Chains A and B, each alone.
Chain A
Amino acid sequence: MGKQAFDEIMGTPGDTTARPELAALGHWIEETPDAELRRRQEAAETTFRQLGITFAVYGENEAAERIIPFDIVPRVFLHDEWTRLSEGLVQRVEAINAFLNDIYGERRILKEGILPEDLVLGNAQFRPEIAGIRPPHGVWAHICGIDLVRTGPDDFFVLEDNARTPSGVSYMLENREAMLRLCPELFREFRVAAVDSYPDLLLETMKSVAPHGTGSNPTCVLLTPGHYNSAYYEHSFLADSMGIELVEAADLVVDDDIVWMRTIAGRVKVDVIYRRIDDDYLDPLVFRPDSALGVPGLIAAYAAGNVAIMNAPGNGIADDKAIYSYMPDIVKFYSGGECKLRNVETWRCREPQALKYVLDNLEDVVVKLVDGSGGYGMLVGPTASKQEIEDFRAALIAEPHRYIAQPTLALSTVPTMADGGLSPRHVDFRPFVLSGSKGVQVVPGGLTRVALKEGSLVVNSSQGGGTKDSFVLMKDQSQRMGAGGMTQTMGGMSQTLGTMLPSAGADT
């Protein structure tokens, strides 16, 4: 917006040189001709297109699928910045797990009046069908994709806690793959934490939550709605990388409260299911009876403690937009300390005073549907037309409870290739946080989305957003990688270039 934004590479507004820690990146940007940057960017996009990493835009009639544009200039987190951010993420995800354990169990948080009872019990995302079930090891939110924005070096704000089936991790992996191939000099200049161990960490997480008594080598599967799903590439890519079966509902049967996978060699007992289908479609006996995507009896097997489902059914209550504004209280309640990661200030339009403020300031705020996603049903006041503002005013007056509003923040920018050369563009960030039976860990990287339109704050790929690689610098930057150091090692796993073809899914 018109406000002066923090640039993650160039630093505070007005600076003409890069932040001191990123001087080398500043030189790289300056010295690499635009034409060369464009050539590399096109090479990356050609690869993505060949791999079929495309997505369909809702509301567009033409069947043509698009690739999400890729920008060649990475965004970079300094080691200390990342450490502090990670602490906040771990605290937040631990609280989300504790909240879900409580809300489907004792409901202490309601009894103590921290949350209004009707906000939870009357919320469609609170699923009574699974009340009383405790998932194996008490882990609910195995994979969280916490959406953040940034306004300064250490100023992060959470936009959304995606605790259901967050997608986009394949972009994190594939963007890194492209950067290693196309800009190897950057990895000589900086020691960048590797992200390629993600599939191994994910598999480790899956195995760690297998039901007690499963044995040392539990059977894990990835359950996909099928190849028509816009994130199917990500599903198949992750299953491949982990070396586990990619299954559809028809491949699974429940017998005697145990989940079995049909294979040519006969039935194999399934211990852990990473499902990429929504709760509604999981089990037609418990949720939507017309669902053909689900596995009849799955919830009974789950309730009997014979299978782990990740993420756990019922998680939607934790990342619901109506609950979001209470997250700082929720974190405080379960962690006993102050919430390290801030929320964006949020006006709940169900509250008359908040509604009045929002109606008086529509030109300055962002208005969102409580149950919307993907940038749909959203008003960005400062860039909206008069007509759009008046339409939202009418909608707000008619159904205030369906909306929340937030101030427009001076979102950080990162230099991005535009028509006239490199130019700052606003970004957001989705790090991936894994919760297993041994604790919570943050993968050092994530998905950076960039609003390619000048001044735009909307990063959704369906609304003209692109992606970038996200570098997390390692602690010791003095030992840089050698010229041949294109194998990255982390968590005991290594990846050598050119051996893996990553694919992508759609963003939510």
Chain B
Amino acid sequence: MRLSIDHHTIYRFTQPQGRLVQMLRLTPENTHDQTVASWRIDVDCDARLRPGRDGFGNAVTMLYAEGPVDGIEITVKGEVLTSHSDGVLRGVHETLPPALFLRATEATAHDAAIAEFAADAVVGARDRIGALHRLNRALHQQFVFDAGRPEPGLTAGAAFRKDSATPRDMAQMFAVAARSLGAPARYVSGYHHTDFEVVHFPTPHGWAEAHVDGLGWVGFDPCTGMSPEEHYVRVAMALDAAGAAPVAGSRLGEGGEELDVDVVVQRED
């Protein structure tokens, strides 16, 4: 499948800023089932971009802009060729062992209610992969899909007590649940294409990966109850959503900011 991505991130500041330093995780990499045909990051002000890599092995771009800046627009455009993968991640260089991903974070702290839900969901599963698929479907059925922007700082435990959930919250709940079952799990950010016509998403997409001995890392998207397939473009992963955030930023200056994000993913073939 040939997917085109058009992702705009716009910050507007109520007062001019002296400096901006941002860390962007906006660059997908080639895997066995994902080939980046073209990709570029553009910024609408005088900024310096430096490529690098974070501790999880994600490609990052450091953005340095000298003020005064009253806003910045980051435009990401690219095309990615994908193939059928059965949701199994292949051809990625892993920098950290799976056992690291059993670890909890503030946003994905161990939660007794989620653990209980997970234990119930997997009753009858014959093996680890079967259990994880059951868990994925159970989470999908449990929550009304929330298409809005996720609430900043909401933990998986707090999200679990609501009726509706955003992709970020669903994926973080999946990670907490899978870890409670003893499966290493992580948060993945990226893009996905839906079968509707042109859809504008308010954020990039988020889903989860869990590690299964013998298979490796397998993707799970509780928003659909399925594994991510060729209509997904994988960009970055970490222990939680904050660790894989598309933009982590810091600015020097007074005043507030407004954030506007628009993501369009289209199928080209």
Contacts and interface: CB of A to CB of B under 8 A. Distances in A.
Interface of A: 107, 110, 117-118, 121-122, 124, 126-133, 253-257, 284-286, 289, 296-297, 300, 303-304
Nearest to B249: A285
Given A121-B100, A131-B56, 4 more contacts: A285-B23, A296-B250, A297-B62, A300-B52
B212 interface: no
Interface string B54-70: 11110010101010000
A128 B55 contact: yes
Nearest to A110: B97
5 contacts: A121-B99, A129-B243, A131-B96, A132-B53, A303-B53
B3 interface: no
A342 to B, nearest CB: 31
Nearest to A127: B55
A119 to B, nearest CB: 10
Lowest 8 CB-CB distances: which A-B pairs, in order? A296-B250, A296-B21, A131-B55, A129-B55, A121-B100, A297-B21, A121-B99, A285-B23
Contacts of B100: 121-122, 126, 128
A129 B54 contact: yes
Interface in B45-99: 48, 50, 52-57, 60, 62, 64, 66, 95-97, 99
Contacts of B12: none
Contacts of A124: 103
Contacts of B50: 256-257, 300, 304
Given A297-B21, A303-B53, A289 B95 contact: no
Identify the interface centre among A117, A128, A284, A303: most chain B CB within 10 Å of its CB: A128
Nearest to A255: B64
Contacts of B96: 121, 128, 131
A300 B103 contact: no
Contact of B19 (A130, A253, A284, A303): A253
Contacts of A128: 55-56, 96, 100, 239
Contacts of B181: none
B99 A284 contact: no
B239 to A, nearest CB: 7
B248 A254 contact: no
B97 to A, nearest CB: 6
A289 B103 CA distance: 19
Given A117-B97, A132-B53, A122 B103 contact: yes
Nearest to B54: A129
B132 interface: no
Nearest to A254: B21
Nearest to B106: A288
B102 interface: yes
B99 A118 contact: yes
B138 interface: no
A253 B103 CA distance: 32
Given A132-B57, A254-B64, A285 B250 contact: yes
A303 B52 contact: yes
Nearest to B64: A255
A257 B96 CA distance: 24
Interface in B1-60: 19, 21-23, 48, 50, 52-57, 60
B96 to A, nearest CB: 6
A483 to B, nearest CB: 59
B99 A285 contact: no
B131 interface: no
Contacts of B57: 132
B97 A297 contact: no
Nearest to A128: B55
Nearest to B100: A121
Contacts of A253: 19
B21 A257 contact: no
B242 A289 contact: yes
Contacts of A117: 97, 99
Interface in B226-263: 239, 242-243, 248-250
A132 B23 CA distance: 18
A495 B99 CA distance: 53
B102 A118 contact: yes
A297 B64 contact: yes
A285 B21 contact: yes
Nearest to B102: A122
A265 B239 CA distance: 43
Nearest to A301: B62
A263 B144 CA distance: 55
A296 B62 CA distance: 10
Nearest to B19: A253
Contacts of A130: 55
B55 A133 contact: yes
Nearest to A284: B250
Contacts of A110: 97
A382 B66 CA distance: 62
Contacts of B242: 289
A117 B99 CA distance: 8
A254 B48 CA distance: 11
A148 to B, nearest CB: 32
